């Protein structure tokens, strides 16, 4: 049976890519698209009656089939609203939005105890495999290697550093037994003195239409290792989100699922 899909933020860069792939797929039925009041007219024009279009998720959900899964790539407050809207209704929700506060992430984790929720700051398989191998590199290189992260994104991106850079930073910090928020340095300006031993730089560049570049540096005595991931298009994130949506069908609540759970 095809999985019924609702895309929240369907007029956005990610939302449009997900809708296009879902419409071409034999595994999904695009049942609904939600976007802000100022965008629904544009979405309706693009969809030409292929699915329900609304600026009111709560209302749209009353008309959706039972086997519906939601995908949300919007903004933190909007995704929090989506999570509250699906809670108790049985529809799994896959969130790709980044920029949540620690408090919002805590709330999502709490809701995920009783409701099937999935969140990943990066849905690409490559980044998630990179996350898996980074702790081995950290341990093999040892404490003589300073670790830094640089990310580049298009000029429209609203949060900084990217959610992926922070996730990679957390992976590096965990492998050293540090807490990222205590050792993260995201701005260097003026007479800043020598770099402390316990520091991870997480820096951001913005410009043009760069989909996403993340580079992890290990800088040691006499040498440097750089591990880079370049996203060539938004399709790999969209495919990851659709794969997560299928994986969530029938899944029990219990934890805030993420890509590593799906890959395992
Ligand atoms: P975008 O600005 O192009 O799209 C956001 C969409 O949300 C817009 O269509 C906007 O109108 C809509 N929106 C705003 N308010 C709304 C509301 N109240 N109800 C419904 N829709 C509303 O942004 P984007 O580039 O598509 O990125 C969206 C999010 O996804 C960002 O947080 C970005 O960092 C993140 N992202 C995550 C991944 C990943 O792999 N997890 C990949 C790329 C982007």
Residue with tokens 């049985």: 90
Mutate to test the pocket of ligand 1, among 8, 9, 45, 80 (most ligand atoms within 8 A of CB): 9
CB neighbours (10 Å) of residue 147?
24
Q: How far apart are CA 102 and CA 113, in angstroms?
A: 17
Nearest CA to ligand 1 atom 4: 12
Does the annotation count 156 as an active-site position?
no
Query: Residue 35 Cα, ligand 1 centroid: separation in angstroms?
Result: 10
Q: Is 98 in the pocket of ligand 1 (CB under 6 A)?
A: yes
Query: Each residue's pLDDT tens digit in the chain (264 positions)?
Result: 899 999 999 999 999 999 999 999 999 999 999 999 999 999 999 999 999 999 999 999 999 999 999 999 999 999 999 999 999 899 999 999 999 999 999 999 999 999 999 999 999 989 999 999 999 999 999 999 999 999 999 999 999 999 999 999 999 999 999 999 999 999 999 999 999 999 999 999 999 999 999 999 999 999 999 999 999 999 999 999 999 999 999 999 999 999 999 988
Q: How far is CA 174 from CA 70, 123, 171, in A?
A: 32, 21, 5
**Backbone phi, psi, residue 14, to 5°:** -75, -45
Does the annotation count 229 as an active-site position?
no
Q: How far apart are CA 77 and CA 229, in angstroms?
A: 28
Looking from the CA of residue 211, the nearest atom of ligand 1 is 43
**Backbone phi, psi, residue 47, to 5°:** -80, -25
Cβ pair 121, 98 in contact under 8 A:
yes
Query: Residue 210 Cα, ligand 1 centroid: separation in angstroms?
Result: 16
Cβ pair 155, 207 in contact under 8 A:
yes
Options 81, 84, 89, 157, the catalytic residue:
157
Domains and their CATH numbers in the chain: 3-123+234-263 (3.40.50.720), 125-231 (3.30.360.10)
Could you tell me the pTM of the whole model? Answer: 0.90
Nearest CA to ligand 1 atom 17: 36
């Amino acid at each position: 049976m095809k999985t019924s899909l609702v895309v929240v933020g369907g007029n956005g860069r990610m939302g449009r890519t997900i809708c296009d792939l879902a419409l071409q797929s034999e595994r999904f039925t695009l049942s609904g698209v939600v976007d802000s009041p100022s965008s629904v007219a544009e979405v309706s024009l693009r969809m030409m009656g292929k699915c329900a279009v609304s600026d009111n998720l709560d209302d749209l959900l009353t008309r959706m089939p039972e086997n519906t899964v939601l995908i949300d790539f919007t903004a933190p407050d909007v995704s929090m609203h989506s999570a509250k809207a699906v809670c108790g209704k049985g529809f799994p929700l896959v969130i790709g939005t980044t920029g949540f506060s620690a408090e919002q992430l805590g709330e999502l984790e709490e809701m995920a105890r009783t409701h099937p929720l999935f969140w990943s700051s990066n849905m690409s398989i490559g980044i998630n495999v990179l996350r898996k191998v980074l702790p081995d590199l950290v341990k093999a290189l040892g404490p003589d290697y300073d670790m830094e992260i640089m990310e580049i994104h298009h000029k429209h991106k609203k949060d900084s550093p990217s959610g992926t850079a922070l996730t990679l930073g957390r992976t590096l910090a965990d492998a050293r037994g540090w807490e990222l928020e205590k050792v993260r340095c995201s701005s260097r300006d003026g007479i800043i003195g020598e770099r402390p031993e316990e520091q991870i730089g997480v820096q951001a560049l913005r410009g043009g239409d760069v989909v996403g570049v993340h580079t992890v540096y290990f800088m040691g005595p006499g040498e440097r290792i750089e591990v880079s991931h370049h996203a060539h298009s938004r399709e790999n994130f969209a495919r990851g989100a659709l794969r997560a949506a299928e994986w969530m069908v029938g899944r029990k609540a219990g934890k805030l699922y993420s890509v590593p759970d799906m890959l395992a």
